Structure 1
Amino acid sequence: MPTPEKTSSSQIISPRTVLVVFGTRPEAIKMFPVIHALKADPRFRVVTCVSAQHRGMLDQVLQIAGIVPDHDLDLMRPDQTLDALTAALLVELGKVMDVARPDWVVVQGDTATAMAGALAAYYRKLPVAHVEAGLRSHNIYHPWPEEINRKIIGTIAALHFAPTETSAAALKAENVAAHTVHVTGNTVIDALEWVTARIAAEPALAAGLADLEARFAGKRIIGVTSHRRENFGGGLEAIADAIRRIAERPDVALIFPVHPNPNVRRVMDAALAGLPNVAMIEPLDYPHFARLIAISEIMLTDSGGVQEEAPALGKPVLVMRETTERPEGVVAGTARLVGTDADRIVSEIFTLLDDKAAYSAMARAHNPFGDGQSARRIVELLANVEYPIL
């Protein structure tokens, strides 16, 4: 593997080349604080590569974060299978690595892009640093295929940046060497603090929800996201039924940025179109999504990132999944697993709406996912680690 020049402390050390690989909107949100921190540090030369696994939603984050990728693979195709995507990622990311010759390859989370990036780096004996390492649901089909993706990355990575002590413990339980595991917090909190400050300074960045805020003035807003593959079919139909029943309450409004996947849109359009208390809208860019969390009383989601973001703004999260790789939120009381049973979802929402003590207990619970300094810690670790890591 390429290594920085070994010099004495009095000599200039050549910058380490870091290749940052990502492709989806959630990855971009959690990676841009790291990219900003790396680019501000003269100890590094930063090369960014996006797969565009999410094209439009990725570009929104790149724009607000001011990042122009050095390599844009633009790999997504209509109705692309996971194996076709993975094969394309592996080949094309490998080509980028052959050109960039990085000292480190940094990947985030559990996407096909992250997994293929780690594998392509392994084939070239390049060390991999994994941001948000150690998340485990212990069920290979929930979430699918993410649980296997992150286990593969965990086997390859030379540095594991675990967001919490729980995720660090999960890695060590899998016999990952303890000296390679570092608890850094989750960079999503860095990102949320950054974008919240931007919105405060430039309100126009998130002004696109003003009409909905006016339309639902006086109502208690519930923010909704739903897109998990494992919920396709019966799970999404039950979620749609629950939303319809919740919307029957005159004091409630639901704002639902609907994922572009036709498996999601088809179900939601059939069940919810035309309901006066439900606003099904296009996916939101990052500032507007942060604004949605801020104006919502409760977040109802099957997303992973929302389980981390909403507690940072004091919003209870009801998670429409049977398992979560983020048990810290459940333990802390900021999140609650409610599954995809419509009766359970409706009951849990109504409890939070009608029981002030129950709501307060979740809203005031400590957010376990970070303090906004995660990117700084990651950069210091990348700068100071010795080669090779064994």
Structure 2
Amino acid sequence: MLSPHANPRRKVLLVFGTRPEAIKMAPLYLELSKHSGEIDVAVCLTAQHREMLDQVIRFFGIPAHYDLNLMKPGQNLYSLTAAIVEGMKPVLEDFRPDYVFVHGDTTTSMAAALAAFYSGAKVGHVEAGLRTGNKWSPFPEEMNRSLTGRIADIHFAPTQQSRENLLREDIPERHILVTGNTVIDALQHGLSLIERAEPESVQVLSRQLPLHRDIILVTGHRRENFGEGFLNICRALKRIAEQADAEIIYPVHLNPNVQGPVYELLSGIPNVHLIEPQPYESFIWLMNRARLIITDSGGVQEEAPSLGKPVLVMRDTTERPEAVSAGTVILVGTDEERIVSETLNLLYDTERYDRMARLHNPYGDGQATKRIAQFLLTNHKHEYVS
């Protein structure tokens, strides 16, 4: 373990364990580190995911002051939750944070928030207030974020809609700060790093893929789509490949429930490129090169509008209704006909595509981490708590 800074005025521990959390917490660490005279910030990794997590922290240059290294083959929600709570105890006793910041809706976030509560630290929830209203969809994320919200002392809500969700759950208004989403901060910083020095993974893609044509970028990994849902998605993509003058690039998630139908139905199609899951830097580079994106990812729904990329979301519900209301994404579920028709329509209806691409991103301006840092700099740790 690395030794965190000593003698802080405000001690802040950032805890995360998956690639999406790392992407959204990395710019917060970088911002808080600018204020080392007033904020002592340390990072604790649970390594709920390992390889994909490590790729992100290497790209952003984020240290791991504590690393629980909990990922195990065949891990389940029971054992993972228990391991995180128990693993956090010595970290909390060593660093003794004033604040523990967790992110979003992972098992790491929920369990680390609980451990922080046990320790007496204040819990800050970054990306707070997202809700579908159905505890089973997505599972277990909806319940993870709801439970984290009950534990949290301060809620960094990305949008006004998220704020309203929290107010309806009787969270006091003074405990909520609307910040925008830190994923936009990460995207802007990540693209600037790529512009300065093109990573090797990007150079490899540039050589391997036919980037001179329109690109449809696809991602998919949601549990609720396993089985018939993924079969429908793959059938739709096969029809799109046959009808569209475009290249489909699909970084295929490692889960066997995804790989099975994808490779069975889409292998060998000339304009479908099934590639390995990409490091963050090459994925955002692909997003920036794409004509449109088909996904079931929450983060992509937030990132792509900043790049002017229309998004088709392969889910029936979303905890990000702001994008639907703003018109930057379209919910298509796993309905084969709907996926095909909406994709082809956006590819060939230039006027509709341009309208969608020009819409304002409802998830912020890339200043979310500055707002969170300012909160820490101007609010004593007890001022906002009744």
TM-score, structure 2 normalization: 0.95
Work out the CA distance in 2 between the residues paired with 1:56 and 1:274.
28
Determine helix, strand or coil for the equivalent of 1:349. Answer: helix
Give, in angstroms, the shift of residue 14 of structure 1.
4.6
Q: Which residues in structure 2 correspond to 1:309-348 (within 5 Å)?
A: 309-348=303-342
Q: Which amino acid aligns with 1:337?
A: L
Q: Which residues in structure 2 correspond to 1:220-299 (within 5 Å)?
A: 220-249=214-243, 251-299=245-293
Please tell me whether the aligned partners of residues 8 and 40 of structure 2 are also in contact (alpha carbons under 8 angstroms). no
Work out the CA distance in 2 between the residues paired with 1:216 and 1:210.
7
Count of matched residue pairs: 376
- Deviation sequence 1:70-97 (CA, Å, 0-9, x none): 1111111111111111111111022211
Match of 2:97 among 88, 94, 102: 102
Work out the CA distance in 2 between the residues paired with 1:14 and 1:29.
25
Q: Does 1:181 align with 2:171?
A: no
Work out the CA distance in 1 between the residues paired with 2:131 and 2:73.
30
Q: Does 1:125 align with 2:120?
A: yes
Residue 294 of structure 2: aligned partner: 300
Work out the CA distance in 2 between the residues paired with 1:340 and 1:383.
45
Q: Which residues in structure 2 correspond to 1:93-172 (within 5 Å)?
A: 93-172=88-167
Work out the CA distance in 1 between the residues paired with 2:84 and 2:377.
28
Give, in angstroms, the shift of residue 250 of structure 1.
5.1
Q: Which amino acid aligns with 1:106?
A: F
- Deviation sequence 1:296-353 (CA, Å, 0-9, x none): 1011000000001100000000000000111111111100100001111011101101
Determine helix, strand or coil for the equivalent of 1:248. Answer: helix
What are structure 1's unaligned runs of at least 5 residues? Answer: 1-12
Give, in angstroms, the shift of residue 209 of structure 1.
1.5
Residue 211 of structure 1: aligned partner: 207
- Greater mean alpha carbon deviation, residues 356-365 or residues 149-158: 356-365
RMSD of aligned C-alpha atoms?
1.2
Q: Which amino acid aligns with 1:304?
A: G
Please tell me whether the aligned partners of residues 75 and 85 of structure 1 are also in contact (alpha carbons under 8 angstroms). yes
- Deviation sequence 1:34-57 (CA, Å, 0-9, x none): 100111102111111001111111
Please tell me whether the aligned partners of residues 208 and 288 of structure 1 are also in contact (alpha carbons under 8 angstroms). no
Work out the CA distance in 2 between the residues paired with 1:230 and 1:384.
42
Q: Which amino acid aligns with 1:208?
A: V
- Deviation sequence 1:231-277 (CA, Å, 0-9, x none): 11111111111111111125111111111111111121111111111
Q: Does 1:75 align with 2:75?
A: no
TM-score, structure 1 normalization: 0.94
Work out the CA distance in 2 between the residues paired with 1:51 and 1:266.
29
Give, in angstroms, the shift of residue 216 of structure 1.
4.6
Please tell me whether the aligned partners of residues 244 and 344 of structure 2 are also in contact (alpha carbons under 8 angstroms). no
Residue 8 of structure 1: aligned partner: none
Determine helix, strand or coil for the equivalent of 2:217. Answer: strand
Work out the CA distance in 2 between the residues paired with 1:200 and 1:324.
33
Work out the CA distance in 1 between the residues paired with 2:162 and 2:198.
36
Segments of 4+ in structure 1 off by > 6 A? Answer: none
Work out the CA distance in 1 between the residues paired with 2:224 and 2:111.
21
Work out the CA distance in 2 between the residues paired with 1:367 and 1:101.
38
What are structure 2's unaligned runs of at least 5 residues? Answer: 1-6
Residue 63 of structure 1: aligned partner: 58
Determine helix, strand or coil for the equivalent of 1:247. Answer: helix
Give, in angstroms, the shift of residue 203 of structure 1.
2.5
Q: Which amino acid aligns with 2:197?
A: E
Match of 1:194 among 177, 189, 194: 189
